């Protein structure tokens, strides 16, 4: 289906009246909404799901959330009329994201949430706001694993609820042995202890994990991506805020805040996002 370049593509159609209408009539979980004037209309807070264990993307440092996903979430919430102190953060593990949205426990999810047709059967998406690529994390001295087709007989770790490891088994290395862990930190621990030979997820996530002081020098990203992962904003299926969220992402890209947040999130990791795919194209809300 046709996709439209996010930068400037909806500016022609977007008017202040439409933006106000889209933002002030939310039907997600019954307690979100707002206008563009900075005061939330329809509720005193907005609940946003993020990851707590992905350095550089969604990471809870004490009581403070940090990372690129967090910065995009704060920007979008601001455009929807919520100040930062009106945001309630909720941990959203991969296996629980659809449930959290469909039961109204969160209003939006920014959690490296790849847009897929299967997930669209349960939730809706705005965005995407970033395009990553699936890759592998291996021991720093590993020269045997060079891509997803070199994993037969190897042990591969991914997080419960993620589709990344099963994709490798289905499409590249039927003989790979899969191990699931509740979080990425546990997968990297399994890697550094020799329990598994590789960890798989998106390249930007692996880069953040590899850059942690406790992992530095022990692991490396293979650097051979084999997918395009469109990070979308998860919203309930009955939400009417898709267009408003897309407009907020467009504004973030156009005013430079998107690039600033991405640079801060990836600084020192050695990771360079695919410039041909980022900033990304957004998916029309009427898909």
Q: How confident is the model over 82-110, as a mean pLDDT?
A: 96
Does position 1 have pLDDT exceeding 50, yes or no? no
Q: How confident is the model over 209-214, as a mean pLDDT?
A: 88
Span of 13-22, 119-128, 186-195, 266-275 with lowest mean pLDDT = 13-22
Calculate the average pLDDT of the chain. 85
Q: How confident is the model over 229-255, as a mean pLDDT?
A: 96
Does position 267 have pLDDT exceeding 90, yes or no? no
Q: What is the 3-state secondary structure (H, E, C) of the chain?
A: CCCEECCCCCCCCCCHHHHHHHHHCCCCCCCCCCCCCCCCCCCCCEEEEECCEECCCEEEECCEEECHHHHHHHHHHHHCCCCHHHEEEEECCHHHHHHHHHCCCCCEEEEEEECCHHHHCCCEEEEEEEEECEEEEEECCCCCCCCHHHCCCCEEEEECCCCHHHHHHHHCCCCCEEEEECCHHHHHHHHHCCCCCEEEEEHHHHHHHHCCCCCCCCEEECCCCCCCEEEEEEECCCCCCHHHHHHHHHHHHHCCHHHHHHHHHHCCCCCCCCCCCCCCEECCCCC
Domain covering 4-132+230-282 in this structure, CATH number: 3.40.190.10
The percent of residues above 90 in pLDDT, for the chain, comes to: 69
pLDDT band at 4, cuts 50/70/90?
A: very low
Predicted local confidence at residue 270, as pLDDT: 80
| All CATH 3.40.190.10 domain ranges in the chain, comma separated | 4-132+230-282, 134-221
Does position 283 have pLDDT exceeding 90, yes or no? no
Which residue is listed with tokens 């621990």?
189
Does position 13 have pLDDT exceeding 50, yes or no? no
Predicted local confidence at residue 272, as pLDDT: 86
Span of 170-179, 230-239, 274-283 with lowest mean pLDDT = 274-283
Q: Are strands 87-91 and 46-50 parallel, antiparallel or unpaired?
A: parallel
Largest CA distance in the chain: 59
Does position 18 have pLDDT exceeding 50, yes or no? no
Domain covering 134-221 in this structure, CATH number: 3.40.190.10
pLDDT tens profile 164-208 = 899 999 999 999 999 999 888 899 999 999 999 999 999 999 998
């Amino acid at each position: 289906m046709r996709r439209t370049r996010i930068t400037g593509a909806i500016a022609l159609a977007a008017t202040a009246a439409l933006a106000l209408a889209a933002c002030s009539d939310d039907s997600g979980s019954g307690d979100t909404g707002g206008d563009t004037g900075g005061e939330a209309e329809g509720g005193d807070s907005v609940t946003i799901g993020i990851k707590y264990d992905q350095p550089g993307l969604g990471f809870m440092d004490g009581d403070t959330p940090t990372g690129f996903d967090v910065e995009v979430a704060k920007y979008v919430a601001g455009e929807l009329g919520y100040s930062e102190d009106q945001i309630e953060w909720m941990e959203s593990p991969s296996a629980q994201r659809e449930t959290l949205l469909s039961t109204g426990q969160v209003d939006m999810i920014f959690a490296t949430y790849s847009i897929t047709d299967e997930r669209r059967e349960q939730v809706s998406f705005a965005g995407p706001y970033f395009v990553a690529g699936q890759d592998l994390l291996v021991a720093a001295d590993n020269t045997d694993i060079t891509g997803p087709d070199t994993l037969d007989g190897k042990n591969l770790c991914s997080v419960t609820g993620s589709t990344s490891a099963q994709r490798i088994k289905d499409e590249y290395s039927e003989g790979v042995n899969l191990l699931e862990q509740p979080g990425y930190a546990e997968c990297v621990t399994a890697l550094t202890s020799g329990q598994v030979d590789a960890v798989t997820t998106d390249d930007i996530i692996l880069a953040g994990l590899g850059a942690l002081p406790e992992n530095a020098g022990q692991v490396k990203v293979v650097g051979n991506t084999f997918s395009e992962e469109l990070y979308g904003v998860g919203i309930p299926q009955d939400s009417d805020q898709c267009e408003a969220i897309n407009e907020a992402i467009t504004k973030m890209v156009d005013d430079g805040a998107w690039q600033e947040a991405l640079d801060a999130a990836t600084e020192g990791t050695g990771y360079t996002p695919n410039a041909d795919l980022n900033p990304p194209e957004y998916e029309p809300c009427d898909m």
